[in-house]
Amino acid sequence: MELLESRSIFSPATGFIQRGGFQWTCNPYLGCTFGCTYCYAAFLPQNRQPAEQWGRWLVAKKNAVTLAHRQAKKVAGQAVYMSSVTDPYLPAERTLMLSRGILEAMLPFQPRLVVQTRGPLVVRDIDVLQDYRHLRVNVSIPTDSEAIRRRFEPKAPPLDQRWMALGQLQAAGLAVGICVTPTLPIQNVTEFVKKLTHFAPDVLVCQNFHDAGGRFGADTGPAAWQLLSEFGWNDTHYRQFVDRLRGQTTVFEGAAGFFPPPGPTPQPTWACESRA
């Protein structure tokens, strides 16, 4: 792992994150040791390493917390996505505590915050997350099968640990999202639909594999496409799953599912006038 002295910790949102309504992204790390075969971030131009090396390197912004205390005022009340090109709860976070420090720094300024992770370590910070007034924690649950999960994301946390984390977050009164993104092959569609529906997350989003069509930017790696082919999973299977799920609950697809939590309810004009 490399340590980097960074110049900023909050970056203007771009792409689908900006289109979803976020003003800022926050990435305490560069790279990701979870190394998922399908990760679009491996193909982004800001990465220093070849896409084939994704998952084998990590850069920690060693001054991230100091920067957050210095810069958090600019995100006050605005929509922040944490994180867009890494996972804020990688194993390194257990000791570095950069994500926790950033959360503490932003807290007085109450941004509308989405934490995006597949790391069960997020439950460590429930005490801080509970003090945010406009927050959602999104957790990736891309399949129902641990065997399939291991093929696509061999270094990521097991699914049962993620489900446990979701349960703890929900029990703590936090809004949660489940991201079946990208949607990996599903072993038992009927039971997975039941489980997702019964859990009743605040937001449920699915997404088929992303194909940039050879364009420069975010894409899905060839290893993931090969695995899809091995499992015999295709667009028809994806559509059948989403249609089954949509018959039971509200489902967002793709970029439409990545939006900030609602902000304060605007006061009616008459309420403002009555105090004038």
* 174-233 tens-digit pLDDT: 999 999 999 999 999 999 999 999 999 999 999 998 665 444 344 466 778 888 889 999
pLDDT band at 31 (very low <50, low <70, confident <90, very high): confident
pLDDT computed for residue 55 by the predictor: 55
Q: Judge whether 43 and 62 are in contact, CB under 8 Å.
A: no
How far apart, in whole angstroms, are the C-alpha atoms of residue 50 and residue 9? 24
Check: CATH 3.40.50 for 2-263?
A: no
Q: Give residue 40's pLDDT.
A: 67
Residue with tokens 């960074």: 6
More confident residue, 76 or 54: 76
Is the pLDDT at 239 greater than 90? The verdict is yes
Question: Residue 247 and residue 260: Cα distance in Å, rounded?
Answer: 25
pLDDT for the residue numbered 121 = 98
Domain ranges of the chain: 2-263
The three-point CA angle 81-82-85 to 5° equals 100
Q: Over range 122-135, report the average pLDDT.
A: 98
Half-sphere exposure of 87 toward its Cβ, with a 13 Å CA cutoff?
27
Mean pLDDT of 102-127: 98
pTM metric for this prediction: 0.89
Could you tell me how many residues make up the chain?
A: 276
Nearest Cα neighbor of 165 from 81, 260, 89 is 89
Residue 135: per-residue pLDDT: 98
pLDDT at residue 269, rounded to an integer: 39
Give the sign of the dihedral formed by CA 94, CA 96, CA 98, CA 101. positive
Predicted confidence at residue 169, as pLDDT, reads 98
pLDDT for residue 266 = 46
What is the rounded distance in angstroms from the CA atom of residue 60 to the CA atom of residue 92? 9
Q: Say what the pLDDT of residue 47 is.
A: 66
Q: Is the dihedral of CA 156, 203, 20, 122 positive or negative?
A: negative
Determine the residue type at 28: P
